[in-house]
Amino acid sequence: MKQALHIKNLTKKYKDFTLDHISLDLPYGMILGLIGENGSGKSTLINSILNIVKADYDEVHILGQDLKSQEKEIKKEIAVIFNDSHYGENLTPLFIGKMLSGIYTDWDQKKLTDYLKQFHLPEKKRLKTFSTGMKVKLEFAAALSHNPKLLILDEATNGLDPVFREEILEILREFTEQEDHSVLISSHITSDLDKIADYIAYIHEGRLLFLKSIDELNNDCGIIRCGREFFDALSPEDIIAYREEPYSYCVFIKNRQSLRKAFCDISIENASIEDMMLFYSKGEKII
């Protein structure tokens, strides 16, 4: 399978934090959700991929091109959206479109105009009159109008109303229907990732805990609610983490299929991405 993004052993060291030997792949045509607590290293990873932050790595290939030698070519084919606007407050969407048309060879002014209408953004008003949500909408409109092949979103949907967020999720789904298009999205709104992500990468305290497909996570992992006797009967090898509640145990398990065979009448719930984060970060571990 060809990779839109390939990272091998990326490390960034600060005085009090290290993003430690991150390796991951994002296949073409897929959406990779990047999750983790505040300060876990998600933004550091994204900034390293963009070469905003200088990190050490064995390999970083984006759209089949090497970051060290082909950064200029790469940046023509990617679009990055942060959770705040980087355009000047006195600029208008119309002026921004003209400015970007001189930067991107694949700029599509009609597409920008269509997105401005779709997002109800006035093309001739200055950005200082825009709300925060309107500015983020403009970021999406501009990013999508130069026909990128890789979209990178760093908490870009934060602060958007639920209706527009759902609209953006649908745009991302449609974007990756083209086989050479991919999305890397970092978000604290894990319910959004439940809806659109094909893969999940979980970074915790600077380390990659796992990178798995949603199908793999759903087939292998789950949640069991049980009493003490059943909990004691479970093998430690099948328990990722657990919470002890007043009259029961809530157990995040792996090896779901083998547990079904071993305990025929067992009820195993699907785990949401938020569930997984909470169990990994807050749950008790069996040592």
Residue 286, pLDDT score = 65
pLDDT at residue 84 is higher than 80: no
Q: pLDDT band at 195, cuts 50/70/90?
A: very high
Q: How far apart are CA 64 and CA 251, in angstroms?
A: 41
Query: Mean pLDDT throughout 81-90?
Result: 85
Residue 231 lies in a domain: yes
Residue 237 lies in a domain: yes
Q: How far is CA 111 from the centre of its chain?
A: 25
Contact 165, 178 (CB under 8 A): no
pLDDT at residue 85 is higher than 70: yes
Count of domains for the chain: 1
Residue 281, pLDDT score = 84
Residue 65 lies in a domain: no
| Residues composing the chain | 287
The string of pLDDT tens digits covering residues 95-135 is 999 999 998 889 999 999 999 999 999 999 999 999 888 89
Residue 251 lies in a domain: yes
Query: Mean pLDDT throughout 3-20?
Result: 95
**CA dist list (Å): 217 to 8, 30, 39, 220, 222:** 23, 16, 24, 5, 8
Pick from 3, 4, 9, 5: which is nearest to 57 by CA? 9
Contact 156, 83 (CB under 8 A): yes
Residue 241: strand pairing partners: 252
Q: pLDDT band at 94, cuts 50/70/90?
A: very high
Burial class of 246 by CB neighbour count within 10 A (0 to 12, 13 to 18, 19+): exposed
Which domain does 226 fall in, by range?
A: 221-282
pLDDT at residue 287 is higher than 70: no
More confident residue, 283 or 198: 198
Residue 234 lies in a domain: yes
Other CB atoms within 10 A of residue 214 CB = 17
Pick from 257, 282, 112, 77: which is nearest to 182 by CA? 77
Provide the pairing of β-strand 31-35 with 199-204.
parallel
Residue 166, pLDDT score = 92
Residue 158, pLDDT score = 81
Residue 62: strand pairing partners: 5, 65
Q: How is residue 194 written in tokens? A: 């439940």
The string of pLDDT tens digits covering residues 46-61 is 999 999 999 999 999 9
Q: Tell me the average pLDDT of the chain.
A: 92
Q: How is residue 251 written in tokens? A: 């157990």
Phi, psi (rounded to 5 degrees) for 8: -130, 115
Residue 109, pLDDT score = 94
pLDDT at residue 159 is higher than 80: no
**CA dist list (Å): 241 to 36, 105, 142:** 17, 50, 43
Pick from 196, 202, 199, 223: which is nearest to 213 by CA? 199
Query: Mean pLDDT throughout 225-239?
Result: 92
Residue 55 lies in a domain: no
Residue 230, pLDDT score = 92
What percentage of the chain's residues is helix, strand, coil (to nearest 5)? Answer: 35, 25, 35
Residue 283, pLDDT score = 78
pLDDT at residue 161 is higher than 90: no
Residue 183 lies in a domain: no
The string of pLDDT tens digits covering residues 22-34 is 999 999 999 999 9
Residue 212 lies in a domain: no
